[in-house]
A and B are shown apart, each in its own frame.
Chain A
Amino acid sequence: MTLPPPAKSFLEALAAGDRRAYGSLYDRLGDKLLRVAAAMLRSGADAEDAVQELFVNLARNRQRFLAVEDLDAYVFACLRHAIGGKLARAKTEESHLQRMAMQITVASEPALPERDDVAAALNSLPADQREVVTLKIDGGLTFAQIAGVLKVSPNTAASRYRYALAKLREWLGEQS
């Protein structure tokens, strides 16, 4: 469900570094942010780290709140940036390990268990489609907001969503 836009004074409080405003922001979006991050990173611990990193970055660049028109879209765009950074670091680390051909066992957290078919189906989607689905379903954003987050047109966002859901329905139909 899409949330009503916050008052301008709320954005000003965030820009001023008001602690209570950051608490309110977490209460407003925290669960949704965590769900989207978990769906994209496939790790609960990494998702928590991404949300924490997001809030630190929001506090660090808090003056930008004054120029924000859509708070939710802005915060999810920042989350996407944090997730992208984590994925890039993980990829670099992985390729580095492969290059070095190190025979080590990395004690990393296992990926989220795919307890149901729909989660497995979602993970089988291309990243750009999975991103639109999770921003829509888990983040509760509109297509216009998703378009702002992904820097694509609303039509493109809607089209990706429909393609993804068609694939999911087909995949789930085959499973049942």
Chain B
Amino acid sequence: MNVGFSEADFSEVERRLRERHLPLAPDELRARVLGAAVAELEAERKVRRGSAWPYAAMAACLLLGLGLAQAAAITSLIPHSAGQPEKAFVSAAALRRLSPDLSEDDARQLSLFVSLPRTAVALPLPQSDPSPARGDFDIRSFVRGESK
């Protein structure tokens, strides 16, 4: 087949092609097409907005957890067992039952020492205090309300 025509050779065919019958766009098609496109845009925005909630909730939980952990850490620094001498005495009695050779004072000191938090640091008594001897530690000095 010869395809070496100039474009003018096809002008009649092209004219007839342009004028052939094709369906016209109905009036409502524009609204329908754009409505579908906008619905897609809106749906995507809603999904994006909705998908942010789990991350926000997770962040809130993390913050809450951090806050609680911090509060717990601060609380553990307080020597709360020192405020419960009666509990220490119960433990002292238990120690004396286990080891009858212990004096009442030793058992009491030991029970207080055991019940102190790990963060407590033993401090030497002031030198002006004549008893006990210089350089010795008296566990009662750490306990609130146990001053001599």
Contact = CB atoms under 8 A, between A and B. Distances in A.
A166 interface: yes
Nearest to A137: B17
B106 interface: no
Contacts of A52: 29, 32-33, 36
Contacts of A22: 34, 37-38
B16 A163 contact: no
Contacts of B12: 169
A56 B21 CA distance: 27
A59 B29 contact: no
Interface in B100-124: none
A55 B34 contact: yes
Classify chain B's interface size: 20 to 34
A166 B13 CA distance: 9
Contact of B13 (A47, A62, A172): A172
Interface stretch (B2-10, B91-99, B125-133): B2-10
A19 B37 CA distance: 8
Interface stretch (A69-77, A84-92, A96-104, A114-122): A114-122
Interface string A7-34: 0000000000101001100110011001
Contact of A119 (B2, B21, B37, B45): B21
Interface string B34-45: 101110110011
Interface in B33-65: 33-34, 36-38, 40-41, 44-45
B121 to A, nearest CB: 62
A122 to B, nearest CB: 7
B20 A118 contact: yes
Contacts of B29: 30, 34, 48, 51-52
Contact of A35 (B5, B13, B22, B44): B22
Interface centre among B10, B13, B30, B45 (most CB of A within 10 A): B13
A138 B32 CA distance: 22
Contacts of A56: 36-37, 40
B45 to A, nearest CB: 8
Contact of B17 (A44, A60, A118): A118
B25 A116 contact: no
Given A17-B44, A39-B22, A163-B1, 6 more contacts: A30-B29, A48-B29, A60-B44, A122-B17, A162-B3, A165-B14
6 contacts: A23-B30, A48-B25, A51-B33, A52-B33, A55-B36, A59-B40
